[in-house]
Structure formats: structure tokens, C-alpha cells
Homo-oligomer: A and B are copies of this chain.
């Protein structure tokens, strides 16, 4: 039944788990990353490789089919080939001509700290499975909570995999608190009123998604119109709340955006807080992008009032320049963090554990049962380079965006959609003598965006505002200079449409 060789590990296993192998490959990793960053910064290559999904799938597939076939080739050499393939055909966020999504070129060190938790495979949902990884999360949460302005020991924060998950978890907690039996009995109308959530029409699509997931129904999401500055119109919010019961709705939560995705606009959080308090409803802030401005003395006014929120979503993988995914969900009242889930897993969690370790087990408060140590990247760059360095990246992104706004505004053949509140700006190209109507301009921007991305040298996105398509940049790369900003406008002018 047991092979006589059982005591001896196979040579392959010994070799591939050997300390020497990991050191060899890590050295290659360093070489490959240095080459990659050098190429990105030289801005000689493409920001986005040609978009040919099937070609890449075939490439990835062929690599797998060759796995273990060529044992004569040193594994470090093969590793370097594969790593170079993965980097070359990726999206080059570290190219200063990248001005696309709300995903940053990370501080390179953050990824190297991040790998520690993976190489040692720490499971951060249970203290015992990741003692230091769990402690790092607590230390980071304490530091971020202090920036929010909350007193130590009064609030709770948990790391989770992404802003959507954090938003859904917060609204699940709010649902369970308002409807005490919804976890066990299911969601149901109460006194003839259906549970409902209020947010602005420009809030992230995952708020509607939360309604669909949590059994509330997307039809029970009240979308308050936005004002001229793309913020939730608070007068209309009050009015909609006033009439909601007549519509058969029981609004139990209101979600403020800090900021919105299309235009980077910040809702008036202090104003929403007052409404929430008056109506005794849960106040959640989706601060996925914007909570990070708390790091900046110059810009933290953008999220004034965030400290009144019952819960806050904060993506470190956006404006804190660490790899995706690294999100924090905060609860002003520490006890509320236990309300989203209520479970029993005896082999893992023992709430009566005499050692007192249960309070450090995050798994009863997150979707994830096994969870990666997602805080090592942020903890690492904070500990290595300091908090002020992170703040300087935020301030630089803001300054660059203002510069971009100035350039666009001063260019006769461009038009801005809004004054940027943070580092997101929507604008469009209006060629001289084009005589295009609104629909024509909309079509033109879409063509420009497609061509820019297909050309591959620059990277921008687009979005619809009031039905029209606009070009959209998130200025987020600290290596982007005025030269690049002006260069983008020229590149847009030169597109053939």
C-alpha cells in the first residue's frame, strides 16, 4: 500500500521546494521587474499591448503544455522567460502615459512586501494562521482609523478583497441591524414596507448590485439625482425620503460617494450625515477612491464629515498605491462589525476561547473564510518610506490633474465636462470647424478612445455623462509630467476619425 520510497521525498519535490530554488527565482524576478520598469519609464514601448485575447490565451496555453517538458533548461531561465511574457503582454501602468482607470502604478516595494504573505501562505482570517499578518492588519486599521478621526478602541476595521465586497458587507450589517431576523428568516416586507437603500444616481454600480445580492432587489434602490457639481442633491434626497413610505419603502441606509466614479465628485458627507441622523438610518460612505485623501493635509477637506459615517469603504489599492486587492471596511461602532455574519465553525473559531485570541480572528466579520494577508504591502511601504511619502503621491496626482484641467481649458479645441474635484477629469475634443452636434461629438470621442487604446501609446478611458460619451482620465502616475499631459492632447488631435 505504501511505496517503500515513502520516507524519501521525490527529487523534484526536494528541488522545487528548496531554499536555493526560491532564491534563484527571486533574483530573476528582480531582474525582470527592473527591465519592465525601465521599459515603462522609457515610454518607448506601448502602454497597452495589442488587444488580441485569443493570441494571448494560446500563448498562455502553450506555456502550460510545455510545463516540465524541458528539464534540461535551468528553471531560473524558464522562469525569466515566463515572467517576461507576463509583464510584456500586460497593461503598463508604470508608463507615465498611462492615465486610465482608478488603479495606480504601485510603489514597487509594496508588491515585494505583499509576496511575503503569499510565499509563507498566511491565512489572515484567523490569528493563529497568520500571527504577524493579522497583527499588521490591526496596526494598519488603527492608523487609518486615527486619520478618520475616531478614538482608539471605539471603532473596528477589517481588510477584505475589494470595494464591492466591503460595500456589500457594510450594507449587509445595516440590513441585519435594522431587520433583526433577516439573517435567519430571510428578507421580507415589514408592516407593508419593503427594505430600501438610498444613494446618488452616480454612485458605483456595486451599490445596486448589493441590493440584488442581499435579497432587497435593485428596484428598491432610490437613486437621488445629482446637482450641477455631480453631488447627491440633498434637497431631493430629503424629499425622496419624505415620500418613500408612501411608495411602500422603508429606507434603512443611505450611501454617500467619496468620490463618484464618472467624475470623481464628492458628496456632501456632513449633509448626508445630518439626514441619516434625522431619519435614524445607517450612513455608509463609499470612500473606495477618496478616503485616501485623509492622508493629505491639503486635500482632506474633500471628505469632511466622513467621521460621522456608520461604515466606510476604503480601497488602499487605489490612492495608497499598493497592489489590488487591499480594501478596508470600517465601522464607527466596533460592535457593529459582528453583525454582518453570525456563524459557528468550531474547528476554526471558538468565541469562548479562554486564550482571548477570538477577538483577533477576522473571519467571522468578512466574507472570506481563508483570507490573504492583504495589509503587508501598505504596512511595508509605510514602514519603509513613511506616511509622508504616500501623502506626496496623492498630492502629486492632485497637482497633475489641476495642470491637466488648465491645459484642456486653455486649448480651444477641447472642452472640460467639469471642474475636477480630485484626480479624475472628463473632457472632449471639439475639432475646429467640426460642426458636430451632441451625438456627433459623442461618437467622435468614442472613436478617439478606441483609436488611442488600439494605437497603444497612451491609455485613457471614457464614460457617459447625461447620455453623452466623454473622454476620461485618472491622473495617477507620479511619473506623469506636464510634457505627457500635453502629449496626450496632441495624440488625441492626431487621431484619424
* A68-B205 contact given A23-B33, A93-B120, CB 8 Å threshold: no
Task: Give the docked Cα–Cα distance between A127 and B92 (Å).
Answer: 13
Q: How far is the CB of A63 from chain B (nearest CB, A)?
A: 4
Collect the chain B residues with CB atoms within 8 Å of residue A25's CB.
30, 108-109, 112
Give 13 A-B pairs besides A67-B381, A67-B382, A213-B213 with Cβ atoms closer than 8 angstroms. Answer: A25-B30, A51-B128, A64-B139, A68-B387, A93-B121, A115-B118, A163-B370, A168-B367, A182-B215, A185-B219, A187-B215, A205-B344, A317-B370
**Which 5 residue pairs are nearest across A and B when measured between Cβ atoms?**
A215-B215, A68-B386, A26-B30, A186-B217, A56-B135
Write the A191-230 contact mask toward B (1 if CB under 8 angstroms, else 0): 0001100000000111011011111111110000000000
A380's nearest neighbour on chain B, judged by CB, is: B82
Q: B132 contacts A90, CB within 8 Å?
A: yes
B392:A132 contact, CB within 8 angstroms:
no
Interchain CB contact (< 8 A) of A138 among B60, B91, B382, B463? B60
Contact of A108 among B1, B17, B209 (CB under 8 A): B17
Q: Nearest Cβ distance between residue A159 and chain B, in whole angstroms?
A: 12
- At the interface, yes or no: A399 with Cβ under 8 Å from chain B? yes
A101 and B372 alpha carbons, distance in the complex (Å): 14
Q: How many copies of this chain does the complex contain?
A: 2
A17 and B90 contact, CB distance less than 8 A: no
The reply to whether B6 and A19 form a contact with Cβ atoms under 8 Å apart is: no
Q: Which residues of B contact A139 (CB under 8 A)?
A: 57, 60-61, 64
| Known A347-B262, A462-B347: A108·B21 in contact at CB below 8 Å | yes
A183 to B210, CA, bound (A): 10
Q: Give the interface size bracket for A toward B.
A: 35 or more
Question: A31: which of B1, B23, B323, B483 is its contact (CB, 8 Å)?
Answer: B23
In the assembled complex, A435 has its CB within 8 A of some CB on chain B: no
Tell me if A's interface is mostly helix, strand, loop or mixed: helix
Q: Does A432 contact B (CB under 8 A)?
A: no
Q: How far is the CA of A341 from the CA of B206 in the complex (A)?
A: 10
Whether the pair A86, B136 counts as a contact (CB closer than 8 A) is yes
Q: How far is the CB of A57 from chain B (nearest CB, A)?
A: 5
Decide if A49 is an interface residue (CB 8 Å cutoff): yes
Q: Which residue of B lies closest to A104 (CB)?
A: B121
Residues A184 and B119 in contact, CB atoms below 8 Å apart: no
A337 to chain B, nearest CB (A): 16
- Looking at A30, A34, A93, A400, the one whose CB has the most chain B CB atoms below 10 A away is A30
Q: From A141, which residue of chain B is reached at the shortest CB distance?
A: B57
CB atoms of B114 and A115 under 8 A apart: yes
Residue among A63, A64, A478 with max Cβ neighbours from chain B (10 Å): A64
Among candidates B204, B367, B406, residue contacting A165 with C-beta atoms closer than 8 Å:
B367
- When the two chains form their complex, are residues B163 and A162 in contact, meaning their CB atoms are under 8 A apart? no
Q: Does A497 contact B (CB under 8 A)?
A: no
